[in-house]
Amino acid sequence: MLLYCPNLAQTTERLCSLYQREATDRIFAVMKTPSRVLKQYADKYPSGFCEYPEPEERAYFWDQLLKEYTAIQDDHIPSAYLREFDQGLYGALVGGIPRFMRDATTGQISSMVAPFLPEWEEFGKLKTDPSNVWFQRYLKQIAIFRQASIGKFGISHLILVDSLNFVFELRGATATYLDLIDSPDMVRQAIDFSYHLNRWVADTFFELIGLEQGGTCSNFGQWIPGKIISESVDPFHMTGINYFEEWGREPIERIFKDYDGGIIHLHANGRHLLDSVKSIKGLKAIRFLEDLGFPTTFELRNTLKQKLGDLPLIMDADFKFFIQALQEKDLPGGILYNVLNVPDQDMADQTMEKVRNCFKGGNQE
Print the SS3 string covering the chain: CECCECCHHHHHHHHHHHHCCCCCCEEEEEECCCCHHHHHHHHHCCCEEECCCCHHHHHHHHHHHHHHCCCCCCCCCCEECCHHHCCHHHHHCCCCCEEEEEECCCCEEEEEECCCCCCHHHHHHCCCCCCCHHHHHHHHHHHHHHHHHCCCCEECCCECCCHHHHHHHHHCHHHHHHHHHHCHHHHHHHHHHHHHHHHHHHHHHHHHHCCECCEEEECCCEEEECCCEEEECHHHHHCCHHHHHHHHHHHHHHHHCCCCCEEEEECHHHHHHHHHHCCCCCEEEEEECCCCCCCCCHHHHHHHHHHHCCCCEEEEEEHHHHHHHHHCCCCCCCEEEEEECCCCHHHHHHHHHHHHCEECCCEEC
CA torsion, ordered 251, 275, 225, 160, to nearest 10 deg: 30
Q: Report yes or no on 87 lying in a domain.
A: no
∠ Cα 319 323 326 (to 5°): 140
- Is 105 part of any domain? no
Q: Looking at the domain assignment, is residue 315 inside a domain?
A: yes
Q: Tell which residue, 51, 185, 176, has the closest CA to residue 109.
A: 51
Q: What is the pLDDT of residue 1?
A: 86
Classify the C-alpha dihedral 13-17-23-29 as positive or negative.
positive
Q: How many CB atoms lie within 10 A of CB 71?
A: 12
Q: Which of 287, 147, 312 is nearest to 219 (CA)?
A: 287
- Percent of all residues in the chain with a pLDDT value above 90, rounded to a whole number: 97
Assigned domain for 102 exists: no
Answer whether 151's CB lies under 8 Å from 163's CB.
no
Q: Is residue 72 assigned to a domain?
A: no
Establish if 273 belongs to a structural domain. yes
Are the CB atoms for 215 and 12 separated by under 8 Å?
yes
Residue 193 neighbours by CB under 8 Å, 6+ apart: 126, 166
**CA dist 111 to 21, 114, 190, Å?**
34, 10, 21
pLDDT at 115: 97
**Under a CB-based contact definition with an 8 Å cutoff, are residues 235 and 243 in contact?**
no
Query: Is the whole model's pTM more than 0.95, yes or no?
Result: yes
Furthest-apart CA atoms within the chain: distance in Å? 65
Give per-residue pLDDT as tens, 179-197: 999 999 999 999 999 999 9
Q: CA end-to-end span of the chain, whole Å?
A: 30
112 vs 215: CA distance, rounded Å = 28
In a domain, residue 277? The reply is yes
Phi and psi, residue 352, nearest 5°:
-65, -30
Q: For position 362, what pLDDT does the model report?
A: 45
Q: Determine the structural domain holding residue 323 and report its residue range.
A: 1-33+212-365
Q: How far is CA 295 from CA 2, 229, 290, in A?
A: 37, 28, 8
In the chain, which stretches have pLDDT less than 70? Answer: 359-365
Number of structural domains (the chain) is 1
Q: Is residue 324 part of a domain?
A: yes
